[in-house]
Structure 1
């Protein structure tokens, strides 16, 4: 976060701290790492310790909740929990997620994935490269040169099937869902296995962390989680979203959520805007301020009108007037 002097601050263990004594040019933050250009135009990384310089020239950088990449010319570099390495000296397209970096290596005409300290080759081609069909937080669904669909998950590759028409995958963490064109079922990949969830294709489905939510043929909102199917709505949902461990939906003008196994009545109105991440839901309350669902409880953070808010980890960061901030963490509010 930046204060009114454009100085960068962090919130760690209940305390607001200054990262530097000079203004920063720009920054991008994830749950556990922040990258920024300091006043000398050095690219820096901060993850709770002392800031570390990554480059002293202009670089394209991308940040996820755990990983940071920076590209100088065609060289793609990676920072992972303090460890630095070069992934390729001739990069094409690439994507950075929480646990993965999926990238084209134009030297060898391959598509590879970095995961947990290792690089795994997914596709090698003599022709034009294509990126995988789906890239999630720790899972990839892709098609090789022989039209063989496969899933990369936790360092292993699992084979699905050969099909000439494209599969459409949706996924999140530890799971992908798809309509199986061969068997005519609605299926998932979970824990190293391909499983049928429904006997028919589903038109609308979204995947979170180990769960998939979908509208069945009757328009009911259903959820598959931990091997069981449950019904979330009786009359259908006018809008619904899924991310990580949170399912949010609006039914008959009321807002509801399902978080970590618990159904929660969020509001007797439709919030103007909301955010989901990990196990936290933040939303615009009836006064125009910000409230959140944390540990199964609804907490009012502020009633300041239209205050911007974001979620980092399971903490909610709210910006007030004059670049001051409130953080809701573990049900307790901290104000700068």
Structure 2
């Protein structure tokens, strides 16, 4: 194990290039529905939408007459007229229901997944659902459909859980879900109590006996096995990292943080366990980020192998998304940590703000909006 030493970072003006085109959306003071698309504002509806969600490359919404539409790459695509009852958006996908039928939209193309489903959940590039027609769990990934399992164990509660897993809670007692889905991976307990993962289009059995608990993130599954050993599935391999159950743990994108049985705060990253220190902090794990309160009360972030000091106090609330973290400090400054850089966004009084991946949208006055992205205010 290696020890990580913290260092402070300077405030700079420009970040690195994003992998995908950033979008945000809002309704202005004229009640027009606006999309901010990589620096360009576009009016896409003259009336307030019934509901909308913001993904990395798409903005799905129900317009004023409940027509379901998706904005992406500068244009609006009409999906259907009044049939959509539910929808979810992630980095790359939009999954939606028309009554009991399930569809997925990816890169402008719509695919029908099932005519009759009971439940579903979606990650950045995977959709997991129960097909009532065939009575089988299926996964959509990379444009293909895969049959996963006929029956799952536990309560068959599909979830994308944001809470840490604490020692003392178990799947067998119904305190934890038996199915979890993250960006590109799903983990589940079968009816025969075997523990399996669906990853890169393949289903792999990790344990033949039921596990006590587990959590998932992009490319990673952390779990406590039947003998209470703590293990990690990462890059297609299983490794035991502790012989005792941790006090708590949480997986995120390519990273996992935990408080070990002996009271050390540790972070698993890039195949290695990093010991941060002997303390039990408050912490959250997100997209490549572990944010925590250190032993001195400082607000710190572990990001891609380095530790950054953000502030001298730990904020009551903050948001993590897409290599980014946003919060308001004690002086009232809205701050953004994104891809290793820190930005002071604004110290003006804001009525509301939100973090859409690595884009900050904030409101002031009567529905007046500003967008902050990569060091620039729009």
Query: Could you tell me how far apart the structure 1 residues matched to 2:257 and 2:332 are?
Result: 29
| Residue of structure 2 equivalent to 1:90 | 116
Residue among 188, 192, 200 paired with 1:154: 200
- 1:55-79 deviation digits (Å, cap 9, x = unpaired): 1114222222321122122111111
* Alignment map for 1:178-327 (pairs within 5 Å): 178-182=223-227, 184-237=228-281, 239-251=282-294, 252-305=296-349, 307-327=351-371
Structure 1 residue 306 displacement after superposition:
5.2
Structure 1 residue 126 displacement after superposition:
11
Q: What 5-or-longer segments of structure 2 have no aligned partner? A: 1-25, 158-177
Q: Do the aligned partners of residues 249 and 129 (structure 1) sit closer, same or farther apart at CA in structure 2, a change above 3 Å counting?
A: closer
Query: Could you tell me how far apart the structure 1 residues matched to 2:187 and 2:234 are?
Result: 12
Q: Do the aligned partners of residues 112 and 321 (structure 1) sit closer, same or farther apart at CA in structure 2, a change above 3 Å counting?
A: same
Report whether the alignment pairs 1:65 with 2:110. Answer: no
- 1:231-269 deviation digits (Å, cap 9, x = unpaired): 2234331x1100011110112321111122321111112
Structure 1 residue 125 displacement after superposition:
4.3
Give the 3-state SS of the residue equivalent to 1:322 in structure 2. coil
Q: Do the aligned partners of residues 281 and 129 (structure 1) sit closer, same or farther apart at CA in structure 2, a change above 3 Å counting?
A: closer
Contact 1:175–1:190 (CA under 8 A) maintained in structure 2: yes
- 1:171-198 deviation digits (Å, cap 9, x = unpaired): 111101011224x421011111111112
Contact 1:197–1:224 (CA under 8 A) maintained in structure 2: no
Where relative contact order (Cα < 8 A, 6+ residues apart) is larger, the structure is 2
Q: Do the aligned partners of residues 220 and 126 (structure 1) sit closer, same or farther apart at CA in structure 2, a change above 3 Å counting?
A: closer
Query: Could you tell me how far apart the structure 1 residues matched to 2:181 and 2:41 are?
Result: 35
Report whether the alignment pairs 1:8 with 2:17. Answer: no
Give the 3-state SS of the residue equivalent to 2:49 in structure 1. coil
- 1:98-138 deviation digits (Å, cap 9, x = unpaired): 11111111111101111110111111249999355221111
Contact 2:103–2:111 (CA under 8 A) maintained in structure 1: yes
| Residue of structure 2 equivalent to 1:56 | 81
Query: Could you tell me how far apart the structure 2 residues matched to 1:48 and 1:320 are?
Result: 28
Residue among 215, 233, 246 paired with 1:170: 215
- TM-score, length-normalised on structure 1? 0.92
Report whether the alignment pairs 1:46 with 2:46. Answer: no
- TM-score, length-normalised on structure 2? 0.82
Query: Could you tell me how far apart the structure 2 residues matched to 1:88 and 1:257 are?
Result: 42
Query: Could you tell me how far apart the structure 2 residues matched to 1:69 and 1:235 are?
Result: 41
Q: What 5-or-longer segments of structure 1 have no aligned partner? A: none
Structure 1 residue 15 displacement after superposition:
2.3
| Residue of structure 1 equivalent to 2:55 | 30
Structure 1 residue 166 displacement after superposition:
4.5
Q: Do the aligned partners of residues 304 and 106 (structure 1) sit closer, same or farther apart at CA in structure 2, a change above 3 Å counting?
A: same
Query: Could you tell me how far apart the structure 2 residues matched to 1:127 and 1:211 are?
Result: 27
